[in-house]
Amino acid sequence: MARAKTFTGGIHPAYNKDRTASLAITRAQVPKVLVFPLSQHIGAPCQPLVSVGERVLRGQKIADSEARISAPIHSSVSGKVIAIELRPHPSGKDVMAIVVENDSLDELAAPIAGSKRIEQLSSAEIVNIVREAGIVGLGGAAFPTHFKLVPPPQAKIDMVILNGAECEPYLTCDHRIMVERPDDVVQGLRLLMKAVGVNKGYIGVEVNKPDAIDALNKACAAYTDVQVVPLQVKYPQGLELQLIKAVSGRELPSGKLPADVGVIVNNVGTAAAVAEAVLNGCPLIERVVTVTGSMVDKPQNLLVRLGTSFGDLLAECGLNGQPGKVIQGGPMMGMTQGNMSVPVTKGVSGILALSEAESAPLEAGPCIRCARCVDACPMLLQPIFLAQFAERGLLEQAEAYHILDCRECGCCSWVCPARRPLLQNIRLAKSAILAKKRR
């Protein structure tokens, strides 16, 4: 087996995955009311295709958009639309949403694709089904997948890479998908490869998931054009640039897209969803979410219907007391949530309930120029200076030191022995610089 690959920099946080890494995916309870925000993806929000009072079926398209970068939204239950109004959203803002009352019948809408085999499908057909299924990046970014599959004509794509790194602590949803549904992942990869017309597919998996690597190896055995690439366990191995570097050796220049170096990257969950949609005709209406954290008695990897609220899931997993923080996603790059009625949207990979003690803010000491942040930054930037410039409002200098290349992974804040809020300061400066540019 090839030596596990990696990139420069990075950190090794405590992973805390033991409570859920070996738990098989189980179906979450389906609530009475589900909320479908019209914006669950990068790109233009959708317009509703149904009206209040109308009955909808499970898998029926209920919202869509004419914009090129967008993805339709489907209902995950059958029932009645009881409202179309502003609702809290995991992004922190209130967003227009279609609210459906579940009639518990689970009546299915017509499938969105016939059951053809990969060989019978053309590239255009695959892309079309992916769009119709409303598939977006399930790793958290939620970028409409169909748009990624049609790169600009001048880009010469030669490989598809699947991201099975799952480098964030606590999260194990991708891990379980790889262990329990390796064939779906591999079929999804081959579909993506057919869609962009390449014959090389790689699945990058960190070596702390040997069961996933085994399962995927078996699933790939029948094919010569796909293989598993073991990766060193390091955060943030799952960040796109670092993944591409580790698997292909190619370094993505600043401001460019993976397609510019010949690569298309997708999450393993997204690949499995593509297989579900193209081969079984199912649109994206549910996803695996890891619900865990010290405040949860029964952590689980749940297969959740989109639209289920965080509160419902935390209750199902035995939330024990008032958490200090509830985070959507992972602890490094996830977003803290204030309202437990927010629904699970396409980009939600985890719900973490941390205790007060774990979430208490740390007191910052002075910077002693130890430069651990410089050593840890996977983008090879110098957080020590970026944060300093940010604190002093020296935005031009910050830009000259490439602050806009920061991927906000959080390695710097994590490693700082003086507990300085480096990432937070960098984020403030970045948004100030971008706001100025927009004017």
Partner 1 sequence: MALAPAATLAVFFFGMRALWLMLVSVGVAVGTEALIQKLTGRTISIRDYSAAVTGLLLAFNVPASLPLWIVAIGAIVAIGIGKQVFGGLGNNPFNPALVARAVLLASWPAQMTAWVAPFTFLTTATPLGALRLEGTKMAYSSLFLGAIPGSLGETSALALLVGGLYLLWRGIIDWRIPAGFIGTVAIFTTFFGGDPLFHVLAGGLLLGAFFMATDMVTSPVTKRGRLIMGIGCGLITSIIRLWGGYPEGVSYSILIMNALTPLIDRYTQPVRFGGATK
Residues within the interface to partner 1 (CB under 8 A): 241, 245, 251-254, 256, 365-371, 374-375, 378-382, 384-385, 401-402, 405
- Nearer residue to partner 1 within complex by CB, 84 or 384: 384
Describe the chain by its helix, strand, coil percentages, rounded to 5.
30, 20, 45
The C-alpha atoms of residue 397 and residue 414 are separated, in whole angstroms, by 24
* Closer residue to partner 1 (CB): 53 or 255: 255
Strand 79-88 vs strand 226-231: parallel, antiparallel, or unpaired? Answer: unpaired
3-state secondary structure of 88: strand
Residue 10: CB minimum distance to partner 1, A? 12
* Cα distance between residue 160 and residue 194, in whole Å: 10
Supply the minimum distance, in Å, between the C-beta of residue 365 and partner 1.
7
| 170 versus 235: smaller Cβ distance to partner 1 | 235
As a whole number of angstroms, the longest Cα–Cα distance in the chain is: 63
Cα 61 from Cα 111, distance rounded (Å)? 11
Q: Does the bond joining 236 to the residue before it have cis omega, within 30 degrees of 0?
A: yes
In this complex, which beta carbon is closest to partner 1, that of residue 242 or of residue 328?
242
Least Å distance, CB 261 to partner 1, is 9
CB nearer partner 1, residue 402 or residue 427: 402
The residue (of 141 and 370) whose beta carbon lies closer to partner 1 is: 370
CA triplet 91, 168, 292: central angle to 5 degrees?
Answer: 75
Give least dist CB 369 to partner 1, A: 5
Q: Which two tokens stand for residue 98?
A: 């279609």
Amino acid identity at 429: A
Work out how close the CB of 23 gets to partner 1 at its nearest, in angstroms, rounded to a whole number.
Answer: 36
Report, in Å, the least distance between residue 334 CB and partner 1.
23
C-beta of 138 vs 406, nearer to partner 1: 406
Rounded Cα gap, residues 150 and 201, in angstroms:
17
Q: Which is nearer to partner 1, 282 or 381 (CB)?
A: 381
Q: Cβ distance 167 to 159 under 8 Å?
A: no
* Distance between CA atoms of residues 183 and 377, nearest Å: 35
CB 243 within 8 A of CB 163: yes
Please state, in angstroms and rounded to a whole number, the distance separating the CA atoms of residues 110 and 315: 33
Q: Give whichever of 176 and 420 is closer to partner 1, judged by the CB atom.
A: 420
Task: State the Cα–Cα distance between residues 439 and 428, nearest whole angstrom.
Answer: 17
Nearest to 200 by CA among 239, 247, 155: 247
User: Taking the complex as a whole, how short is the minimal distance between the CB of residue 245 and partner 1, in angstroms?
Assistant: 8
> Residue 400 CB, nearest distance to partner 1 (Å)?
10
In the complex, minimum distance from the CB of residue 188 to partner 1, in angstroms, rounded to a whole number: 28
